[in-house]
Structure 1
Amino acid sequence: MDSLSPEDEAKYQAFVDIFVEQPIATMVMADFDRLRYNRQFGGDQQCMLLTGDTGSGKSFLIKEYCRRLAQTNPMKQALVLSSRIPSKPTLESTIIELLKDFGHFGATYRKGKSKDQSLTVSLIKCLKASCVELIIINEFQELVEFKTGRALNEIATRLKHISEEATVPIVLVGMPWAAKIANEPQWASRLLIRRELPYFKLSEEPEHFIRFIKGLAARMPFTELPKLDNKQTILALFSASNGQTRRLKQLLNEAVKLALVQNAVTLTNEHLADVFRMIFPAIPNPFLASIEQIEGQEVSLPSHYDSGADNEFEAIIPTQYTDRLPLSQLLRKSRKTK
């Protein structure tokens, strides 16, 4: 594989890290700001549930929010405690993970030496002594999936206690079935704010997808900005990604790297076709097809949890997509509904 020069590596890294803000992201970040601001007035802390299917951009949004906050905070103190559910998800291991992310010395060794309640007390003390204004727990579905009844209630009760005692709002982030926690009486009224990061759909507001592509193109590290907003390229990019943000960005990352390796002045359809061929050699290449020939599918039902399944392995229903069809039909459907 050809390598990039140090200068091009820096350009490429900047593009990989780029965040193109969509309307829903603007809304979610405003929600985070509002939760942080409202906490100073005490009372029951408002909390938030943010869900989205795999690859919808949840983790990237959280990372970008924390980055922006760090840039605007002159004291350089952490205002957000951002954590994720550990690989072996239990209530105890989750609290230990929060302590570790806090930088609490020895948190990894406390399991088995401290009672569950002691860990909770330690976390609350850390929060009270810090400047933390918001807790974000990512991949929350891993903690609640396959849990019912008493176990689910215990999770809800403990998080409620931490939020109340430390007077810090909590944002629970995860796959769509993370919303199970919202059915618990302890959290039904607390999760006042509920947002979803959807996949792009050509049959509904295709302009969001087009604006996202334009935003990425405008930030590509070339002397000549690529023109990716023509109909053929837009449909091909949608076909290649199924409207999933992560898959789309990974495809474009590889194409940008290829163009930089070749010292190209801009990104072309040929670069996109070459990358698609490399990643998906057995699939018809949409970047080599005409507008009428480009087929694809969009999400019809997000992944979800079936509480009535016979066993745990059948409980999680994967994302469901429409049948493959010419994508120009989805655009026509969108126009008819407006």
Structure 2
Amino acid sequence: MYESYWNLLEKPFQNISDPKFLFYGETYEEAYIRLLYSVTESKGLMLLTGEGGNGKTFVCKNFCRETRKQGYQVAFIANPDLEPIEFLQSILSEFKLEYRNKSKLELFKELENFILENAKNGSTTIIVVDEAQSISNQKTLEELCVLLNIDCIDRIPINVVLAGKPELSQTVLQVSSLHERVGLRYRLRPLNLHETGEYILFRLDKSGCQRDIFTADAVKEVYEHTNGLPRKINNICDLALLLGYGEGSIVVDKHLIKKAVEDLKGNVYSDRTVSA
């Protein structure tokens, strides 16, 4: 709607996992390096934690995309609060293996054979579990221990990434057999003020922007209301661009950011000329 007004090729602040919008700030680059290291060095289990809206899912989806390109077999489980048998079915489904009308033991054997065959061909199987803090059945987590017990002579044939909010660390701690298998962990931190400005500029640049749109005061205001969380930054900046379009603004300033924040809170300005 507002793209042509700001001379953009596309919307810069959508909450989607388009790889070209992956911002390699310091914390995200470190997370990505550790994810790759956990696979190449057969660490078995890695924990990736961070506040909601901090970009964990974005990082994980791009990690899955890149490792698939490298020939790894990768399963991404987005809604993991499942019973043990449902969890195994979900993994097999991701690998496009047959899972219907099979017992739990048959499901495990099917998955074990798949993992060992991949290892025989020189590949590692990767399972990435997003929002892992939502798993309410401890026995589902214990299934991961069973999978991590699958062994080869020279290396661990499977790598598991558990991603979730900070409380995930405590959840894993309560399952001692799983906690003992954590080979690597990393906690994503929010962007600082400088990185928030770089993030906004990066997103605009990837969308075809050829001039400064957000003022320095606007960036500071964004940071003040988001604490550097990318999802919140996206929401505020996207709406600010829409409001600026409606007002005929030349730049996005502090005033527009404040209006966007109030709008998202439900405190809609009566003088607003465009409806989101």
Q: TM-score, normalised by structure 1?
A: 0.63
Unaligned segments of structure 1, at least 5 residues: 40-44, 201-207, 285-338
Contact 1:222 1:266 in 2 (8 A): no
1:220-256: per-residue Cα shift (whole Å, max 9, x none)? 132312344x3x3344213322443311222113334
User: Who is 1:114 aligned against?
Assistant: 102
Equivalent-residue separation in structure 1 for 2:199 and 2:190 (angstroms): 17
1:165-190: per-residue Cα shift (whole Å, max 9, x none)? 26212111112222222333312331
User: Who is 1:198 aligned against?
Assistant: 189
User: Who is 1:28 aligned against?
Assistant: 31
Contact 2:221 2:258 in 1 (8 A): no
2:198 alignment partner AA = K
Is 1:102 matched with 2:89? Answer: no
C-alpha spacing 1:9/1:164, structure 2 compared with 1 (3 Å): farther
Equivalent-residue separation in structure 2 for 1:54 and 1:181 (angstroms): 18
Is 1:217 matched with 2:201? Answer: yes
Is 1:92 matched with 2:85? Answer: yes
1:177-210: per-residue Cα shift (whole Å, max 9, x none)? 222223333123311312212345xxxxxxx332
C-alpha spacing 1:133/1:264, structure 2 compared with 1 (3 Å): farther
C-alpha spacing 1:186/1:275, structure 2 compared with 1 (3 Å): same
- Cα RMSD between the aligned structures? 3.3
The DSSP-based 3-state class of the residue aligned with 2:77 is strand
Equivalent-residue separation in structure 1 for 2:228 and 2:199 (angstroms): 16
Shift in Å, 1:93: 1.2
C-alpha spacing 1:256/1:79, structure 2 compared with 1 (3 Å): farther
C-alpha spacing 1:223/1:121, structure 2 compared with 1 (3 Å): same
Is 1:186 matched with 2:173? Answer: no
1:127 alignment partner AA = I
Contact 1:181 1:187 in 2 (8 A): yes
Equivalent-residue separation in structure 2 for 1:63 and 1:242 (angstroms): 23
Which one scores higher on RCO, CA 8 angstroms, separation ≥ 6? 2
Contact 1:56 1:197 in 2 (8 A): yes
The DSSP-based 3-state class of the residue aligned with 1:193 is strand
2:133 alignment partner AA = Q
Contact 2:51 2:165 in 1 (8 A): yes
Unaligned segments of structure 2, at least 5 residues: 152-156, 270-276
Is 1:82 matched with 2:49? Answer: no
Equivalent-residue separation in structure 2 for 1:15 and 1:27 (angstroms): 24
1:101-121: per-residue Cα shift (whole Å, max 9, x none)? 11224x3xx2xx322121122
User: Who is 1:128 aligned against?
Assistant: 116
Shift in Å, 1:257: 4.9
The DSSP-based 3-state class of the residue aligned with 1:20 is coil
User: Who is 1:233 aligned against?
Assistant: 218
User: Who is 2:154 aligned against?
Assistant: none
C-alpha spacing 1:14/1:184, structure 2 compared with 1 (3 Å): closer
1:68-90: per-residue Cα shift (whole Å, max 9, x none)? 4456x3xxx4443222334x521
C-alpha spacing 1:55/1:218, structure 2 compared with 1 (3 Å): closer
Equivalent-residue separation in structure 2 for 1:283 and 1:210 (angstroms): 29
Matched length = 251
Equivalent-residue separation in structure 2 for 1:160 and 1:9 (angstroms): 48
% identical equivalent positions: 15
Contact 2:144 2:178 in 1 (8 A): no
C-alpha spacing 1:236/1:13, structure 2 compared with 1 (3 Å): closer
Shift in Å, 1:20: 1.5
1:41-79: per-residue Cα shift (whole Å, max 9, x none)? xxxx531111222212110111222334456x3xxx444
Equivalent-residue separation in structure 1 for 2:112 and 2:140 (angstroms): 16
Is 1:175 matched with 2:144? Answer: no
Match of 2:147 among 136, 141, 162: 162
Shift in Å, 1:13: 5.8
1:278 alignment partner AA = D
